[in-house]
Chain A
Amino acid sequence: DAKTTQPTSMDCAEGRAANLPCNHSTISGNEYVYWYRQIHSQGPQYIIHGLKNNETNEMASLIITEDRKSSTLILPHATLRDTAVYYCIVTNTGNQFYFGTGTSLTVIP
């Protein structure tokens, strides 16, 4: 079963930052937080992952709270192409994911 809780849907204005929250209050010490997104029934696309430090790459930033019970994915300048379902996953295997229903992000022109 998925061990994360995410809002069902969110809207974001184009060009603004999209902040997607995720609760994972039962996360274990050796579990990482992964974020994937899925655009219209394509295969999920990796975005970012982290253990306890904040992470940034060319796509997004990941902010993990100090107690690791929640995190936020930040898309700094959302575009229409960022409209997708975003999944937050906690895992210690890197390849065995238990997806929830994710957050459907709609970027509005």
Chain B
Amino acid sequence: DAGVTQSPTHLIKTRGQQVTLRCSPKSGHDTVSWYQQALGQGPQFIFQYYEEEERQRGNFPDRFSGHQFPNYSSELNVNALLLGDSALYLCASINIRSRSGMNTEAFFGQGTRLTVV
């Protein structure tokens, strides 16, 4: 089981550009959440996707958008990049249908380090 995989691992973009980050959830998981982690801070919840729709959203502008595919993989898109978007972007997955008793945990990927210059 490969767990949660994210690509690319590192990325450098120029201010104003657009970026797409990718996430493949752990086998058997159907729900993906994205987090942004600035240096020295805890991860901040961006949004969650289930059944190919955005279900929950944190306090992020609509420059941040996402998509979930029928195979449950997901993309995070950020438009009009700002220097402040430089961060580690984390993806987490869970099988939402198995959490009726909350007896499960989310698995995180290793993240994509985005640097905006």
Contact = CB atoms under 8 A, between A and B. Distances in A.
Interface in B25-49: 31, 33, 35, 37, 41-45, 48
Contacts of B102: 32, 49, 51, 92, 94
Instruction: Please tell me the size bucket of the interface on A.
Output: 20 to 34
B108 A101 contact: no
Contacts of A100: 42
Given A45-B108, A87-B42, A95 B4 contact: no
- Is the contact region of chain B dominated by helix, strand, or loop, or is it mixed? strand
B34 to A, nearest CB: 11
Interface in A46-61: 46, 49, 51
B96 interface: yes
Contact of B44 (A36, A43, A45, A99): A99
A32 B101 CA distance: 11
A94 B94 contact: yes
Nearest to A30: B102
Interface string B99-111: 1001011111111
A104 to B, nearest CB: 10
A56 to B, nearest CB: 15
B90 interface: yes
User: By CB atoms of chain A within 10 A, which of B48, B106, B107 has the most?
Assistant: B106
Interface of B: 4, 31, 33, 35, 37, 41-45, 48, 56, 88, 90, 92-94, 96, 99, 102, 104-111, 113
Interface of A: 2, 32, 34, 36, 41-46, 49, 51, 85, 87, 92-102
